[in-house]
Chains A and B, each alone.
Chain A
C-alpha cells in the first residue's frame, strides 16, 4: 500500500494534470492559442455550398493569393454545406464567435440585417466605387431598408433551359421553347412520361413536384402576371389580387395536368443528374444543373442544350420576360473585430480577376459571375454559348422576394399552396388563408 506521502504526491500531480487539461481546452476554444502564437490579424471566412471545384479554387488560389498580397492578414477558412450552415452560423453568433465573413443565401437578408448579425457596407461600397459593375438584380438579395449588407459572390437568373433532342423526340419544335404559360402547359404535358404503373419516367416540369419551391413560384408567377404580393416596405402582403389568383390557378392547373392523383411526383433517383440523362428535359436555368452536369457527364449533348429567356406570363401579357434571380453573398459580421481587413478580403473575393478565375476554374459547376466586366472576360463563357446566354438573361432578372420571418412564412406558404395543388383546399380558401396569416405574422414582426 502506498504511503500517505506518496498518495499526496499523486493527488498533487493529478490536480496539476486536470488543471492543465482544462486550461488547454479553454484556450483552444477561445482561440487564444492563435493569438499567442501569431501576430497576424486573423480573418475567419465561412463559405457555403461550394462544390469540390470551388473549394479547391478558394483554398489553393484565392486565400493564398490574398495572404501574399496582405502578409499581415491570415485567413482561417471553413467550408459549410447548405444542409448545416444555418445552425453553425446561428450558434457561432450566439457564442460570440461569428466569423468575420460568412456566405448567405438569397433570402437571408432579414436575419442578417433585421437581427443585426451583419453591418451595412454602403460606406465601404461608396469608397470602392465598383457597385455599378455588378448586375443590378443581385443587390435585391442583400438590401434591407435601403442599406446594402453584403457583396454578391454567385448568381443566376432562372431562365428556360431545354433539351432539343428530347423535344424532337416527342414531336415538339426543338428550336421553340415555351414563351407563355400556355406553352409551358402544353409542352410539359407532351414531355411528361409515365409507365403503365404510373411511375414517372420523364418529368415535363419537375419543379412543380417540389413543394419547397412553391413559395418561390407564387411570387414569380405573380410578377409575370403583372402583380405584386408584398408592399415595398414589406409590412403588408396582398395575396388576394387578380395576378396572384391567376398565378395560383395556373399552378393548380399545371399540377393537375402533370401529376394526377395517386401518381408519382418525383423522378427516380439517378447517379447522373436528370437534365443530363434527359429525364428532366425542361426546367429553370440553374447553371450547375443544366450546364455543369451536362459538361461533366454527357459533353457530347451540349449541342442539344437550349437557353431561352424566362416565361412572359399569361398569353395576353405584353411585355418582357421576368425571371427570378438567386444570389449567394458574403457579409461582414457585426461581431467582427477587424472589419477593415475583412472588407479587403471581401473585395478580393469579388474582384473581376477573382470572378473570372473562379468561373474558369469551375466551368459551370456552380452559380456564377455577378459582374458585367467578368462576364466579358471569362474564357469559360466564351467557350460555352449557353452559359453566356444565361448571363445575358440576367437583364430579365428580379431578385427573389425577401420578407421577414423567412423560415416561418416559407413553410406556411409552401404547405398551403400544396393543399391547393392537390385540391385539398380551394383557391379562394388558400388565398384568404395566406392573406390572413402573412399579415398576422408581418404585423407581429414589425411590432416587435
Chain B
C-alpha cells in the first residue's frame, strides 16, 4: 500500500518535471539556436583542426599535423602572434589609463558634462569599418591631419601605415579613440565610491594623489580587472584594422593573428589549419585569463569578503 505521503511526493515530482519541461520548451528556441549556430560550429572547428579541410571537399583526418605545421614550420604564425602580442602589450594598458583619465575628468559636476560624455562615447558606437576608413586619412603621411599638426610644431611625422616600424603604433594610437566602452564602466564605478572615504582623507589632510592611490584605485580595481580581462580577449582578436587599412602590411608588420587565421581559412583554403589556429588562440587567451584570475587577489579589492591593498 502506498502511503499518502508517497503519493503527494510523486505528484510533486511529476509537477516539477512538467514545469521543467515547460521551461525548456520555451527556452528551446535559444537552446536550439545556440547548438546550431554556436555550440555545433565550436565542436566542428575542433574536429576540423585535426583534418585537412578546404571547405569544398570532405575533411580528411590528419591528426595533429595542422598544429605541428603551425607551431614548427609556418613563419607567418609566429609573426602574427608577435604582432598581436605587441599590439596587446601596449594597447591594453594605454586604453585602461586613457579610459581612467577620461572617466575621472567626466566625473566632474560641471555644466554641460553630459554633452561631453556623449561626445566621448560616440566613437565607441561607430562602425569599425567607418572608423578604419577615417583613420586611413588621418594617418596619411602627406595630407593626414596628424602629420600636418606635427609639422606645425616642427616634428616630421612618420610614414605611419606605410612604415614597418610605425604601423603597429599607429593602430595602437587609433585604438585609444574607442575607449568609450571602458570609461563608461569606470565612470559608473567612480560614482559608486562612498564619499565618506574621501572625506576621511580630507580629515587626515591627504592630497589628491593620496585620494586617488588609496581610495579611487582600490575601489575601482574590480572594474579595472574586468576591463583588463575583456581587453586581453579583444586585443588578441584584433582584425578589422588589418583587414580594412593595411591588409597585413607593410611587410607583414600588421599581420595580426585573427587576420592571418582568416587568410589561411578563406584565401588559402586551409580551414583545417585555420581551425587549429583558433584553438591555439583559445588556449592562449584562457591561459592569460587564468593567470589574471590567479593574481587578482593580490590587487583587486572587493568590498565584501576579500583582501584589501
| A interface residue numbers (CB < 8 A to B) | 11, 14-15, 18, 21-22, 86-87, 90-91, 93-94, 111, 115-117, 195, 197, 199-201, 211-212, 262, 264-266, 268-269, 405, 407-408, 411, 415, 418-419, 422, 424, 448
Min CB gap B8→A, angstroms: 18
Per-position binary interface string of chain B over residues 31-47, scored 1 when its CB falls under 8 Å from any chain A CB and 0 otherwise = 01000000000000000
Stretch among B136-144, B199-207, B228-236 lining the A interface: B136-144
Q: What's the Cα separation between A419 and B221 when bound, in Å? A: 46
Q: What's the Cα separation between A90 and B76 when bound, in Å? A: 24
Interface size class on chain B is: 20 to 34
| B interface residue numbers (CB < 8 A to A) | 22, 25-26, 28-29, 32, 52, 54-57, 76, 136-137, 140-144, 151, 156, 159, 162, 247, 249-252, 263, 266-270
Say whether, besides A22-B29, A418-B251, A407 and B56 are in contact (CB < 8 Å). no
Chain B residue with Cβ nearest A405: B268
Q: What's the Cα separation between A438 and B239 when bound, in Å? A: 28
In-complex Cβ contact of A94 among B29, B52, B55 (8 A): B55
Say whether, besides A18-B28, A415-B252, A90 and B266 are in contact (CB < 8 Å). yes
Q: Are B29 and A18 in contact (CB under 8 A)?
A: yes
Min CB gap A18→B, angstroms: 6
| 13 A–B contacts, CB within 8 A, in A order | A11-B25, A15-B25, A86-B266, A90-B269, A91-B55, A115-B56, A115-B269, A211-B249, A268-B140, A268-B144, A405-B268, A411-B76, A418-B250
Q: Are B142 and A93 in contact (CB under 8 A)?
A: no
Besides the known contacts A264-B142, A411-B268, 11 further A-B residue pairs in the complex with CB atoms under 8 A apart: A18-B28, A21-B29, A93-B55, A94-B56, A115-B57, A116-B56, A195-B142, A265-B250, A268-B140, A407-B263, A424-B251
Chain A residue with Cβ nearest B143: A268
Chain A residue with Cβ nearest B53: A94
Say whether, besides A22-B29, A87-B266, A111-B269, A268 and B141 are in contact (CB < 8 Å). yes
Q: What's the Cα separation between A90 and B270 when bound, in Å? A: 12
Q: Are B55 and A269 in contact (CB under 8 A)?
A: no
Q: What's the Cα separation between A22 and B56 when bound, in Å? A: 28
Min CB gap A98→B, angstroms: 9
Chain A residues lying within 8 Å of B267, measured Cβ to Cβ, are 86, 407, 411
Q: Are B269 and A407 in contact (CB under 8 A)?
A: yes
Residue of B55, B151, B263 most packed against chain A (CB within 10 A): B55
Residue of B28, B29, B250, B269 most packed against chain A (CB within 10 A): B269
Chain A residues lying within 8 Å of B156, measured Cβ to Cβ, are 197
Chain A residues lying within 8 Å of B268, measured Cβ to Cβ, are 405, 407-408, 411
Chain B residue with Cβ nearest A410: B267
Say whether, besides A94-B55, A117-B56, A411 and B263 are in contact (CB < 8 Å). yes
Q: What's the Cα separation between A44 and B249 when bound, in Å? A: 36
Min CB gap A443→B, angstroms: 15
Chain A residues lying within 8 Å of B159, measured Cβ to Cβ, are 262, 264
Question: 8 closest pairs, A vs B, by CB?
Answer: A407-B268, A199-B142, A407-B267, A408-B268, A268-B142, A268-B143, A115-B56, A90-B55
Chain B residue with Cβ nearest A111: B269
In-complex Cβ contact of B141 among A15, A91, A199, A448 (8 A): A199
Chain A residue with Cβ nearest B56: A115
Min CB gap B70→A, angstroms: 13
Chain A residues lying within 8 Å of B251, measured Cβ to Cβ, are 211, 415, 418-419, 422, 424
Q: Are A269 and B269 in contact (CB under 8 A)?
A: no
Say whether, besides A111-B269, A197-B156, A405-B268, A264 and B162 are in contact (CB < 8 Å). yes
Q: Are A93 and B56 in contact (CB under 8 A)?
A: yes
Chain A residues lying within 8 Å of B266, measured Cβ to Cβ, are 86-87, 90
Q: What's the Cα separation between A197 and B140 when bound, in Å? A: 13
